[in-house]
């Protein structure tokens, strides 16, 4: 009796599975596709801009290491003359630019005598360690521990030089110089130190002339380089402040050179 209350016998029964709505599926599919496309474009924009930001900062502060080793024999000879005899350099001190990829970039060292390189600093540092070991042998103080101590001393001196230049640039409002540029400029100090140490090995009294000369030449080289190359991006120029800081940087070469040149002391 109760079964016949839902409808007449033989009449159509309601379907348990409703018919799909084609318009609803179309709107939901379009909405999902629109959301996916919007999120994808937004994510690509975020990650793309982040990637460009990271790459621009890496190129700004670290540059390409291969750039600093594009040298030849002529560049090395001329660069050593500039570092050891900056008074004789009659050309300009600014770096040469060239258009690359729609923007200006500096030419590599092989085409620009004023471009920094890492070949000379690394070779000079290695020579410094070798000369230090030879001096220790002449003094009867050679040992692996003493040579290792001298190697660490040289690295520490290089680090202090780089730190000095970096702090100087920040204090003058030009802290965007690539780090490898600063490392290269700081490493040129070992060329003059090698000359002074070699002079003491060959003729002990020549050390007292070569060491002050090397300090003076390195100070002049750094002043010329920092003033005309790295300070090009400084917008506000305070001549008195700049001159005092440049003078401090030049004078700081004397205690640094004397400390690094005192092998076996």
Can you tell me the distance from the alpha carbon of 11 to that of 8, in angstroms, rounded to the nearest whole number?
Answer: 5
Q: Which residue has the tokens 């594009």?
A: 70
pLDDT band at 245 (very low <50, low <70, confident <90, very high): confident
pLDDT of residue 1: 44
Q: What is the mean pLDDT of residues 82-90?
A: 92
> Residues of the chain with pLDDT > 90: what percent?
52
pLDDT of residue 90: 84
- What is the tens place of the pLDDT at every residue in 133-150? 999 999 899 999 999 999
Q: Please determine, for residue 65, whether its predicted confidence score (pLDDT) is greater than 50.
A: yes
Q: What pTM did the predictor assign?
A: 0.75
Can you tell me the distance from the alpha carbon of 104 to that of 207, in angstroms, rounded to the nearest whole number?
Answer: 44
Mean pLDDT of the chain: 79
Q: What is the mean pLDDT of residues 105-119?
A: 93
Average the pLDDT over each of 18-32, 68-82, 125-139, 204-218 and give the range with the smallest value. 18-32
Q: Which residue from 119, 242, 245, 131 is spatially nearest to 184, judged by alpha carbons?
A: 119
pLDDT of residue 264: 72
Q: What is the mean pLDDT of residues 49-76?
A: 68
pLDDT of residue 66: 92
> Cβ(65)–Cβ(58) under 8 Å?
no
pLDDT of residue 81: 95
What is the per-residue burial (b if ≥16 Cβ within 10 Å, else e) of 168-200? Answer: bbeebbbeebbebbbbbbbbbbbbbbbbbbbbb
Q: Please determine, for residue 121, whether its predicted confidence score (pLDDT) is greater than 60.
A: yes
Q: Which residue has the tokens 């008195």?
A: 240
pLDDT of residue 175: 59
pLDDT band at 49 (very low <50, low <70, confident <90, very high): very low
Phi, psi of 221 (to 5 degrees): -60, -45
- What is the tens place of the pLDDT at every residue in 146-189? 999 999 999 999 999 999 999 888 887 765 678 999 999 999 99
Q: What is the mean pLDDT of residues 123-133?
A: 96
Q: Which residue from 158, 149, 71 is spatially nearest to 108, judged by alpha carbons?
A: 71
């Amino acid at each position: 009796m109760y079964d016949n209350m839902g409808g007449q016998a033989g009449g159509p029964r309601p379907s348990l599975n409703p018919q799909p709505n084609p318009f609803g599926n179309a709107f939901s599919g379009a909405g999902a596709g629109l959301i996916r496309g919007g999120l994808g474009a937004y994510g690509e924009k975020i990650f793309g801009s982040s990637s460009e930001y990271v790459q621009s900062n890496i190129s700004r502060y670290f540059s390409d290491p291969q750039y600093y080793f594009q040298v030849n024999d002529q560049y090395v000879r001329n660069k050593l003359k500039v570092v050891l005899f900056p008074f004789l350099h009659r050309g300009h001190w600014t770096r040469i630019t060239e258009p690359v990829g729609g923007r200006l970039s500096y030419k590599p060292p092989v085409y620009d005598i004023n471009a920094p390189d890492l070949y000379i600093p690394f070779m000079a540092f290695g020579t410094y360690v070798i000369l230090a070991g030879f001096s220790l042998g002449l003094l009867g103080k050679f040992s692996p521990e003493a040579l290792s101590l001298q190697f660490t001393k040289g690295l520490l001196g290089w680090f202090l030089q780089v730190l000095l230049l970096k702090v100087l640039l920040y204090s003058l409002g030009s802290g965007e110089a690539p780090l490898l540029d600063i490392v290269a400029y700081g490493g040129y100090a070992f060329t003059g130190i090698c000359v002074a140490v070699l002079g003491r090995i060959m003729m002990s009294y020549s050390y007292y002339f070569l060491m002050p000369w090397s300090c003076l030449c390195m100070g002049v080289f750094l002043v010329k380089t920092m003033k005309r190359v790295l300070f090009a991006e400084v917008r506000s120029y305070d001549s008195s402040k700049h001159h005092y800081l440049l003078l401090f940087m030049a004078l700081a070469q004397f205690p640094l050179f004397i400390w690094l040149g005192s092998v076996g002391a």
